[in-house]
Chain A
Amino acid sequence: MVAKAGEKRTPPAARLPLPALMVAAWLVPGLGHLLLGRRQRAGVFAAVILIAFIVGIALDGELILPRAGDPLSYLAAIANLGSGVLFFIARMAGLGGGVVTAVSYEYGNTFLLTAGMMNLLLVLDTHDIVVGKKDW
């Protein structure tokens, strides 16, 4: 596929090792695409994930951590950790504890899990761009 003007390129960060790019993409939503010169998409992805995460926290959602005897909590923890630095900032700020009795608890969880999984998809997209499976 021919590269379009504006969505071009010689990625400025193409010289970074792939694992480093993927870690960057995981830590900060949109950073992987930004480092690869996809500024518009990086901005959109960052905004979408940030909004989903903030709404999830505001709705008393829980940043779920693995719980013994609860296999699904491991999957949920992986999804939540997918939010990268947002997860750690929220945890350090004492947010994301979840209020099980809140009427919006499950809504909040849904937004938080979605934010994390979307960011994990961005990590894979960054990988595909770097290895040439995707040229835009």
Chain B
Amino acid sequence: MLDHLSLLLLHALLIAVFFTFLWKRESAARWRYFWKVFLALSLGAIALGWLMYPFPRT
């Protein structure tokens, strides 16, 4: 089974590809948009995880 980070990256990849082809037409614009969305989702999730670290569940 894939680990948490791999699943996170796979999910971010799929969403980034989907919205890139949904909203961008030109090749260069697609690449820029893809990396922007992919990095925002991946790094944003990791950053959010770190921000939540001081707040344990119990």
- Interface residues of chain A, those whose CB is within 8 Å of chain B, are 4, 7, 41, 44-45, 48-49, 51-52, 55, 59, 103-104, 107, 110-111, 114, 118, 121-122, 125, 136
Contacts of B4 in A (CB 8 A): 107
What are the 8 closest A-B residue pairs judged by CB atoms, nearest first? A44-B21, A48-B18, A48-B14, A136-B25, A107-B7, A41-B21, A52-B14, A118-B18
B47 CB-CB contact with A under 8 Å: no
- In the complex the two chains form, what is the Cα distance from A55 to B7 in whole Å? 9
Interfacial residues, chain B to chain A (CB-CB below 8 A): 1, 4, 7, 10-11, 14-15, 17-18, 21-22, 25
Chain B residues with Cβ below 8 Å from A111 are 11
Within 8 Å by CB of A44, from B7, B10, B15, B17, lies B17
The residues of A that contact B1 with a CB separation of less than 8 Å are 59, 103-104
Q: Are A121 and B14 in contact (CB under 8 A)?
A: no
A45 B25 Cβ-Cβ under 8 A: no
Contact B11 A110 (CB under 8 A): yes
A-side contacts of B15, CB under 8 Å: 114, 118
**A125–B19 CA distance with the chains assembled, in angstroms:** 11
Chain B residues whose CB sits within 8 angstroms of the CB of A45 once the complex forms = 18, 21-22
Q: Please measure, in the bound complex, the distance between the C-alpha atom of A44 and the C-alpha atom of B15, giving whole angstroms.
A: 12
Chain B nearest Cβ from A93, distance in angstroms = 21
